[in-house]
Amino acid sequence: MTLALGIDLGTTNSVAAVATPTGVEFVLSPRGERIHPSVVAVPAGGGMLVGSEARLQRLAEPESVIFSAKRFIGQNLRSPLVLAATDGVGFLIEEGINQQPIAVVRDRRMTMPEVSSHVLLYLKRNAERQFGERVSQAVITVPANFTDAQRQATREAGRLAGLEVLRLINEPTAAALAYGFGKRLHEQVCVFDLGGGTFDASLLRVEDELFEVVASEGEFFLGGDDLDRELAEHLAERFHAHLRVDPRPHPLLMMKLQMSAESIKCHLSEHLVAEGEIDGLDLPDGEVVKLPFRVTREDFERMISPLVDRALTVTQRMLDVAGVLPSEISDVLCVGGSTRIPAVRRQLAALFGREPNVRINPDEVVAQGAAIQAGSLSGGVIPGTGMAALDSVTTLAMSPLSLGGRSVALAPPARPLLLDVTPATLAIQTTGGFTEMLLDKNLPIPIERSRVFSTARDKQTRVEIHCCRGEAKRYSDNEPLGLLVLEDLPERARGELTIEVTFRVDTDGILHVRARDTASGQRRDVRLNILGAPS
Amino acid sequence: MSEVLSWARRWARRPTATEHELLELARSATLDDVRAAYHKLARFAHPDLHRTAMTPAQLEDVTAAFARVSNAYAVLSGKLRREAKRAPANPGEPAPSGGHAPARPSTATMAPKQPPARPSSTAPGPTSSSTGAASASAGPSAAGAAGALAGPVRAASTTSSPSRTGATAPLPIGPANAMSPRALGHYRRAELAMLRGNSTEALLHLRMAIASDPQSSFLRAALAELEAR
Ligand SMILES: Nc1ncnc2c1ncn2[C@@H]1O[C@H](COP(=O)(O)OP(=O)(O)OP(=O)(O)O)[C@@H](O)[C@H]1O
Ligand SMILES: [Mg+2]
């Protein structure tokens, strides 16, 4: 038998778990850690390091270390937000084919799926060593607002790591699954996931073992990394004032300040003041200096308040879209390391009028949900098999058996069923550069919808179907997804020839497009050529 | 497993089934009914429940059918939610059937993009003039114009039922029974277009109906009648 891993492939950290006969077990590093930095290093001595060892390299040889690959996977390097994000990284990013970003370290050029595949392979190998079984399948989680190209690229990373990717599931959905599985709940829960690089807020309706996403909204470039950057900026000003050298043009110095900022940030989650010295700072002239600092929680909260406000605004919008009042929510799940920040919890409590649920482990809950889904999809967790993965989660929660005290055999818990939603509005271009929407955001998946369009010119024998993602009326204001071409169509007067365009979003949240000219009835399943995806 | 397969194949043979049919609901179904029906079908037919027990081709059949059920759910629940939002104050009164733009653009699944003042919120079909104008202006100058598409001809799944659309001029042709199901779908849309007073669109659908069922004398008669007007 081979194992199916559940993997939370995070921007800063990755966690993997397996549903085993003794419960959900986490994959440990050789040093026994459950949380693995999503970092890959190519040290001068050769070879490749992954995880916490690679992270340590950030101090020794920062230019040899690739991190935050998730911010770039499946992205178009020419998009302004992506370009802006390349600013904060120490490694070189070049443009590859299809405008995809390529990480360049020493003599190696790696696509982002390749970088991520090293993290996945590392998790797979550790799992195989730990469980003594082959790992060939996985469920990988992605942010709910991941695009098609990002999803495809994540699948590609899995494939490169030798994993059959059973499914991509959305991180908040996985969290809700881990929270509610086996509890036979009937309630609405909100998942607030503020991680290292991305932010999502989702509303789910949980009914027995059915987890239905009602709405999900998010921001792709909003997370702990951005909070670190705010604080690093503040430290840079202090540095400048104190040592009369502006560190901002020096990537190595900024990297150290940013890493220090992260430590200070985490300290401030527990304490009201962080005070000390950052040492080992190399000035351009070779001198090594120290920077004393004192940051209060209040200072920090002031620095990050615009970012936290953004996350809460998105949450409010998500509730509006769902048409649900904060008071109708039974529980607010805090997911992602950045929800440990007291100001975040405070504002969440204010919005929902209740304390958020912080009993769940914000770092592990996503991987745990992925593991349950992996077990379910691979046939591991099936009603009646008495898989303890299921039992352990059930007993952790309040088991219906322990409540009623009856020894009557309850119907075996059904396999969990996830009903996720489309991540974005999907449309095609029509004449005049406008768009016509095919599928709205937040619709249940898998979903399929067709619409019929007519040709714009007489004797038009070729039709280009430009697909895009976004809500703007003008095609050019949206994010292009790809192009589908129908050729050699029969010559007809304009408007006479009709083309049926079918959008299907599969259970991975990936779009498939078909087109057919209805006159000849000839079906042409033309594959969408996804922009920015690894080719 | 064979049960879900025969369910899926039944819908594959009926490409024009309505949302209510797909969800096995009466037309009076409420939002809660719609949700319950979808959940019930999800527990029966969601492809995740069958992936280990089916061939890829069988799984595709089930996925295709379930994807249509999801769409039916999306359309009906969206419509009911919008109606509830529109008329919360006087629940006894039926929601207005046309001329009412949905409150939030993000939920207006099929609202027409270009002419905002068109008197129907669910039917995006362009009038003859708007199609012509859009095509002409798009001509050679607009980006990608070589292969450009004109506006949509129909909303495959959001057309409201004729009964809802109410008292506009009825199409001069009787109920259809002498044509293939596929053709009937187009014919129904032609009827709807007529109810909205859009004869160009009606003509188009009628032609499409004839294309999928060239034998039907009923359709040809309908076309002749419409062209004569
Ligand atoms: N105690 C803490 N206080 C504040 N921030 C913290 C704390 N612990 C961890 N973090 C921050 O949480 C972030 C990592 O969270 P997490 O591991 O959930 O992210 P991720 O899963 O890698 O990212 P994403 O989900 O965005 O892809 C980092 O930015 C880290 O600095
Ligand atoms: Mg995460």
Is the pLDDT at A402 greater than 60? The verdict is no
Q: Is residue A262, in this structure, part of any structural domain at all?
A: yes
Q: For residue A286, report the distance from its CA to the centre of ligand 2, in Å.
A: 38
Distance separating alpha carbons of residues B84 and B96, to the nearest angstrom? 11
Q: Is residue A350, in this structure, part of any structural domain at all?
A: no
Q: A446 with B67: CB under 8 angstroms?
A: yes
B183 part of contact set with chain A, CB < 8 Å: no
- Long-range contacts, stretch A84-91, CB < 8 angstroms, 24+ apart: A84/A221, A85/A221, A88/A225, A88/A229, A88/A258, A90/A58, A90/A62, A90/A63, A90/A65, A90/A251, A90/A252, A90/A255, A91/A63, A91/A64, A91/A65, A91/A66
Sign of CA dihedral B87, B90, B94, B100: negative
Final residue before a domain boundary, out of A240, A270, A303: A303
The answer to whether B145 contacts A456, with C-beta atoms less than 8 Å apart, is yes
DSSP string, B93-156: SPPP-SS---SSGGG-TT--SS-TT-S-SS--PPPHHHHHHHHHHHTTTSTTGGG-EEEEEEET
Q: For residue A83, report the distance from its CA to the centre of ligand 1, in Å.
A: 22
Q: Is pLDDT larger for residue B176 or for residue B222?
A: B222
The answer to whether A460 contacts B147, with C-beta atoms less than 8 Å apart, is yes
CATH number of residue A458's parent domain: 2.60.34.10
| Domains contained in chain A, number | 2
Q: Which residues of A touch B110 (CB under 8 A)?
A: 437
Give mean pLDDT, residues A85-96.
80
- Structural domain span for residue A251: 224-303
Final residue before a domain boundary, out of A277, A303, A329: A303
The answer to whether A452 contacts B211, with C-beta atoms less than 8 Å apart, is no
Distance separating alpha carbons of residues B33 and A244, to the nearest angstrom? 70
Domain extents for chain B? 1-85, 168-229
- Mutation to probe ligand 1, out of A7, A8, A9, A13 (largest number of atoms < 8 A from CB): A13
A269 Cβ closer than 6 Å to some ligand 1 atom: yes
- Looking at residue B113, its pLDDT comes to 32
Is the pLDDT at A129 greater than 60? The verdict is yes
Final residue before a domain boundary, out of A243, A273, A303: A303
Q: Is residue A185, in this structure, part of any structural domain at all?
A: no
Predicted TM-score (pTM) of the model is: 0.78
Q: Which residues of B touch A379 (CB under 8 A)?
A: 52
The answer to whether B67 contacts A446, with C-beta atoms less than 8 Å apart, is yes
pLDDT in tens, B20-29: 999 999 999 9
Write down the ipTM of this complex: 0.84
Q: Half-sphere exposure of residue A250, counting CA atoms within 13 Å on the CB side?
A: 16
The ligand minimizing its distance to the Cα of A67 is: 1
Q: Which residues of B touch A455 (CB under 8 A)?
A: 149-150
Q: For residue A493, report the distance from its CA to the centre of ligand 2, in Å.
A: 53
Give the three-state DSSP class for A161.
Answer: coil
Is the pLDDT at A314 greater than 70? The verdict is yes
- Looking at residue A499, its pLDDT comes to 86
Confidence band, pLDDT 50/70/90 cuts, at residue B204: confident
What single DSSP character describes residue A497? S
- Check if A208 is active-site: no
The answer to whether B42 contacts A417, with C-beta atoms less than 8 Å apart, is yes
B148 part of contact set with chain A, CB < 8 Å: yes
Q: At what angle do helices A297-322 and A224-243 cross, to 10 degrees?
A: 150
Distance separating alpha carbons of residues A293 and A59, to the nearest angstrom? 20
Q: In terms of DSSP H, where are the helices of A181-271?
A: 224-243, 251-270
Cis peptide before A446 (omega within 30 of 0): yes
Q: For residue A360, report the distance from its CA to the centre of ligand 2, in Å.
A: 14
The answer to whether A498 contacts B204, with C-beta atoms less than 8 Å apart, is yes
Distance separating alpha carbons of residues A278 and A212, to the nearest angstrom? 47
- Looking at residue A384, its pLDDT comes to 28
> Could you tell me which chain B residue has the CA closest to the CA of A426?
B109
For residues A218-234, b (16+ Cβ closer than 10 Å) or e, as one string? bbbebbbbbbbbbbbeb
Beta strand A199-208 with A331-335 is: unpaired
Q: For residue A319, report the distance from its CA to the centre of ligand 2, in Å.
A: 21
pLDDT in tens, A45-62: 888 999 999 998 887 787
Q: Is residue A512, in this structure, part of any structural domain at all?
A: yes
- Mutation to probe ligand 1, out of A112, A169, A338 (largest number of atoms < 8 A from CB): A338
Q: Which residues of B touch A468 (CB under 8 A)?
A: none
Q: How far is CA A143 from CA A29, A179, A197, A200, A471, in A?
A: 24, 18, 10, 7, 19
Identify any residues that bridge with A167 across adjacent strands, giving them in sequence order. Answer: A139
The CATH T-level fold of domain B1-85 is Helix Hairpins (1.10.287)
Is the pLDDT at A392 greater than 50? The verdict is no
pLDDT in tens, A428-465: 998 888 999 999 999 999 999 999 888 888 888 888 88
| Minimal Cβ distance to A437: which of B38, B52, B109 | B109
pLDDT in tens, B126-177: 333 333 222 322 333 333 344 666 665 543 333 333 333 222 222 222 333 4
- Check if A290 is active-site: no
A466 Cβ closer than 6 Å to some ligand 1 atom: no
How many residues are listed for chain B in this entry?
229
CATH number of residue A285's parent domain: 3.90.640.10
B164 part of contact set with chain A, CB < 8 Å: no
Q: Could you give the strand order of the β-sheet that contains A49-50, starting from the edge strand earlier in sequence?
A: A49-50, A40-41, A65-66
The answer to whether A321 contacts B107, with C-beta atoms less than 8 Å apart, is yes
Q: A459 with A491: CB under 8 angstroms?
A: yes
- Check if A70 is active-site: yes
Give mean pLDDT, residues A461-483.
89
Q: What are phi and psi of B170, to 5 degrees?
A: -75, 155
A224 Cβ closer than 6 Å to some ligand 1 atom: yes
* H and E: helices and strands count for chain B: 9, 1
